[in-house]
Structure 1
Amino acid sequence: MAAPFDPSAHPHRRWNPLTNSHVLCSPHRTQRPWQGAQEKGDGPQLPAFDDKCYLCPGNERATGGRNDQYDGTFVFENDYAALKPEAVEGDEASSHPLLRSTPARGRCYVLCFHPKHNLTIAQLTTAPYSARSSILPIVHAWRRLYLSIPQENPFVSYVQIFENKGSAMGCSNPHPHGQIWSLDYVPEEPRTELLNMQAYALDARNAAPDVLRGAPLDEQGRASLLLTYAHLELNTPGTPRVVAQNAHFVTVVPYWALWPFETMLLPYKRHISSLEDMTDEEQLALAELLGETACRLDNIFGCSFPYSMGIHQRPAPRGHKGADAELGDFAHFHIHFYPPLLRSATVRKFLVGFEMLGEPQRDLTAEQAAARIRDCDTTHYLAKSNA
């Protein structure tokens, strides 16, 4: 006779409705010994200003440009952009259907979050800083760029906002900053999510009361995949995957999470398709929960927790015509945090072997990870050690 299923002990697969893919969960593997590679822990604390940093106020960058003497956020076009704005003709070199390429066009920007070289979003939550004074300006800059870039560059179809934090995630400069890539197409990850959110909204079966369970609908009266999911998490007994919430947003470890301490931040009260749709109150609430989430991650292992963080939202502002613009009405604003650390500040998860050749796999369950993050303080560990 088969034993009763225990998701905290037995291997199982979880489905990701955003990507229509699966992740293999193997919670029993957390007991295995580790003799593999280890990351470097935090080095000496950084100075508030580094005269050799290409991103500090007033400094000269590698290409000869000079930064403003900024005292808040600072934006400039990336000196080593992955995309160029010039239009080129298509590649006609090969007529074989297996050898196809399409020109890609866009503009890339760097957004410095703060003038101080040694502060991260996680640290901007603790006095003398606050989400209102130090993180809200970042949200305002994101919103301004999201609106202005497509207006100034009509060929742009998608604005991808993201941050790579820490050398473990390939960040080449420790100064607090993120990037904005604008493209003339909708990239694979957000496009896949948009298509699945559209399919969910248009599938009559998903409008059944027993599935929606009272979740709010979008402006068209349709079921929203992520709004329904947020409502489901907040109404699950014990809220085992909820990390934190405020009046407008909630942070969860998604049921289908791949990375050990992966989190997703999203609005739960109403359908919000992009930064454009947020009220002033909602923008402040976003800044507050963004900072709290980053701070909790740092406090898991008492280190500057590396991650890739990015926003998925409506491809371009309302009324802008671009590739897949019709999918915009199905978008529900959300932020992904993909942190790689697994067991300690020096042991990370690698996506190799079975994960490259078979399918994604994780050891820690989403519920276990959420409990670890939820138990962390909201005062940054460095503020405590310096007190």
Structure 2
Amino acid sequence: MTETPIADPRIAVHRTRLADGRELIYFDDADTVLPASRAVDERDLGPRPTTAEMRQDVLTGEWISIAAARQNRVVLPPAELDPLAPQSPGNPSEIPSRYDVAVFENRSPSFGPELAAADAAAPAGARASLAELRRVGLERRLPSIGRCEVVCFSPDHEGSFGTQTVSRARTVIEAWAHRTAELSELPGVQQVFPFENRGREIGVTLGHPHGQIYAYPYVTPRTERLLASIDAYGPGFFADLLHRERTGPRVVLTGEHWTAFVPFAARWPIEVHLLPHRHVPDLAATTLDERDELATLYRRLLRGVDALYDTPTPYIAAWHQAPVHERRDEVRLMLQLTSPRRGADKLKYLAGSEAAMGAWVGDVPPEAQAEALRAAIEGAAE
């Protein structure tokens, strides 16, 4: 594979392998104080788990990965046994060296490590594969090919994307773009999804500041529904959506290249969407200027969300990107930040109507939430 270019040449990339063969990539801050050399992972690790199986839900046509190896994940370990911290004599963690940002293949992945046959990377093969994946039948099974990666934002034990410096936030964005570009080239990958889960209320099992990237072997259900909406609306879907929101009452933060807003029909008590002003299908297609502004703007947004209450807010930050092989001129990159927090000590739980039927009821008027977020962002400490 040809080395993926970096938009900011000051951010250095170092590749290596973990003891069981998984890839580990270090991304150094532009103002790093770390040496270029990296330690070798000398752990004695067992074999990697076999690739999981995915089964089709005939009622919806959706694919469900049955990944039993995920039962072995570490759950809320003490700080001295943090598996995402740099290795130490008493902590044989996943990362052998001190780092700024580190990305490695998940030890217990939902997809992969197996990939499709190499010829599936060709566009014609990808289209045929998508048609087969969208076919519905009884008891259909396929291997859960793809890749799952962990993105460590910092060597510190606690924090999130919003607690990082602007320089570190910029390095993480470069890592997301780099990994999106490379994962999109893997045989059989149909969509790449960077995300951050923050807070125990969301189900986070590691307090270490980190996110993940999934490279799926299919187009996800949420994106399939988006494609249907684009078809129903017609040309100019995202341009019209952004124009309407930018001229409306729900904008919470805007810059030269990005705008964040509470959507018109927000499902969650806290929900913010962030769109680029220019049509780009994914993070890999963003420019240096867009990434630079995003590092500042996105960090401000997250700090504002945290400033709504006296304690940090749990959230899911989901980067929705266009499918790898189709409709990239129609689907625009979008961040969707959602939180179940509907008060200082209240959470929204998905009960019968929402969990069983997908029929949502919003608890907070979107305009009121936008007003609260604007005030929180304005008052958030840097």
TM-score after normalising by structure 1: 0.69
SS in 1 for 2:328: helix
Q: Out of 84, 91, 100, which is 1:72 matched to?
A: 100
Q: Which residue of 2 aligns with 1:234?
A: 246
Q: State the 1:380 CA deviation.
A: 4.6
* Structure 1, unpaired ranges of 5+: 1-48, 90-95, 204-221, 317-324
* Structure 2, unpaired ranges of 5+: 1-77, 118-135
The two structures, once aligned, show a CA RMSD in angstroms of 2.6
SS in 2 for 1:226: helix
Higher RCO, 1 vs 2 (CA within 8 Å, ≥6 residues apart): 1
Q: State the 1:287 CA deviation.
A: 1.7
Q: Which one-letter code corresponds to 1:148 in the other structure?
A: E
Q: Separation in 2 of the partners of 1:86 and 1:242? A: 43
Q: Separation in 2 of the partners of 1:97 and 1:159? A: 26
SS in 2 for 1:163: strand
Q: Does residue 54 of structure 1 match 2:53?
A: no
Q: Which residue of 2 aligns with 1:136?
A: 170
State the identity %: 29
Q: Which one-letter code corresponds to 1:120 in the other structure?
A: S
Q: Separation in 2 of the partners of 1:330 and 1:380? A: 35
State whether residues 317 and 336 of structure 2, in contact with CA within 8 Å, keep that contact through their aligned partners in structure 1.
yes
Q: Does residue 355 of structure 1 match 2:354?
A: yes
Q: Separation in 2 of the partners of 1:299 and 1:278? A: 29
Q: Separation in 1 of the partners of 2:263 and 2:170? A: 25
Q: Separation in 2 of the partners of 1:60 and 1:227? A: 54
Q: Which residue of 2 aligns with 1:12?
A: none
Q: State the 1:157 CA deviation.
A: 1.4
Q: Separation in 2 of the partners of 1:313 and 1:60? A: 40
Q: Which residue of 2 aligns with 1:370?
A: 370
Q: Which residue of 2 aligns with 1:189?
A: 222
Q: State the 1:61 CA deviation.
A: 11
Q: Which residue of 1 aligns with 2:269?
A: 260
- Kindly tell me the number of residue pairs found equivalent between the two proteins: 287
Q: State the 1:354 CA deviation.
A: 2.4
Q: Out of 286, 292, 295, which is 2:294 matched to?
A: 286
Q: Which one-letter code corresponds to 1:143 in the other structure?
A: A
Q: Separation in 2 of the partners of 1:198 and 1:61? A: 56
State whether residues 84 and 94 of structure 2, in contact with CA within 8 Å, keep that contact through their aligned partners in structure 1.
no
State whether residues 195 and 327 of structure 1, in contact with CA within 8 Å, keep that contact through their aligned partners in structure 2.
no
Q: Separation in 2 of the partners of 1:78 and 1:377? A: 34
1:197/1:289 Cα in 2 relative to 1: closer, same or farther (>3 Å)? farther
State whether residues 292 and 378 of structure 1, in contact with CA within 8 Å, keep that contact through their aligned partners in structure 2.
no
Written as runs of structure 1 = structure 2, the 5 A alignment for 1:1-387 is 50-59=79-88, 66-86=94-114, 97-124=137-164, 129=165, 131=166, 133-151=167-185, 153-200=186-233, 203=234, 222-223=235-236, 225-236=237-248, 240-268=249-277, 270-316=278-324, 325-344=325-344, 346-358=345-357, 359-378=359-378, 380=380
State whether residues 70 and 115 of structure 1, in contact with CA within 8 Å, keep that contact through their aligned partners in structure 2.
yes
State whether residues 145 and 216 of structure 2, in contact with CA within 8 Å, keep that contact through their aligned partners in structure 1.
yes
Q: Which residue of 2 aligns with 1:42?
A: none
Q: State the 1:104 CA deviation.
A: 2.6
